[in-house]
């Protein structure tokens, strides 16, 4: 897995918080929130669910679990959400995003060795994370997650491209 600067434990807290803020801006304005919520809503509607559980692998600041929890409340759905991230500093930042959401639990853990039992959640979600892995690693991750997800795995990611790589730095500034 390719590590980003924000994943380094030596980075100052301010740098981490800036990076996580930038990711929230990117998620919002480049359609990631819309894509994740649209896919989840479609699955829930098709399966006529009134309650669901979701594991967000690589949760970052847990902005997407907070978005999902708010959406579930508005639609009178019961949600149980786990935000999983390997970095303690990132999870500390996630606590701020989720303090008003008792339906969200934050857990330190690795997506390669999920700390949950087989068939224990309805959905496994990963957003903007798989592009850090090789194709073989992605296949292994998806296989592992398929043992945990009862209903579906939701993937929202990007394809690395030089224009996107350099252009993405402009989005938070705009």
Q: How far apart are CA 79 and CA 104, in angstroms?
A: 8
Of 64, 79, 73, 91, nearest to 156 by C-alpha is 64
Per the prediction, the chain carries an average pLDDT of 84
- The whole-number pLDDT of residue 1 equals 46
Percent of the chain beyond pLDDT 90?
Answer: 56
Poorest-confidence range of 23-32, 52-61, 88-97, 115-124? 23-32
Domain-by-domain residue ranges, the chain? 12-167
- For residues 30-46, average pLDDT: 90
- The whole-number pLDDT of residue 20 equals 74
Architecture of domain 12-167: 3-Layer(aba) Sandwich (3.40)
- The whole-number pLDDT of residue 54 equals 98
Residue 155: helix, strand or coil by DSSP?
strand
């Amino acid at each position: 897995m390719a590590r980003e600067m924000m994943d380094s434990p030596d980075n100052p807290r301010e740098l981490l918080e800036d990076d996580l803020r930038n990711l929230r801006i990117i998620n919002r304005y480049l359609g990631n929130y819309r894509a994740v919520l649209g896919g989840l809503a479609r699955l829930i509607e098709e399966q006529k669910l009134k309650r669901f559980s979701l594991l967000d692998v690589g949760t970052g600041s847990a902005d997407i679990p907070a978005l999902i929890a708010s959406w579930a409340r508005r639609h009178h759905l019961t949600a149980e959400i786990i935000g999983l991230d390997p970095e303690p500093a990132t999870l500390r930042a996630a606590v701020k995003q989720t303090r008003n959401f008792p339906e969200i639990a934050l857990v330190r853990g690795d997506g390669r060795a999920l700390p949950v039992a087989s068939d224990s959640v309805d959905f496994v979600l990963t957003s903007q994370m798989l592009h850090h892995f090789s194709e073989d690693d992605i296949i292994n991750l998806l296989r592992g997650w398929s043992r945990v997800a009862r209903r579906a795995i939701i993937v929202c990611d990007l394809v690395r491209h030089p224009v996107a790589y350099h252009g993405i730095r402009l989005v938070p500034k705009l």
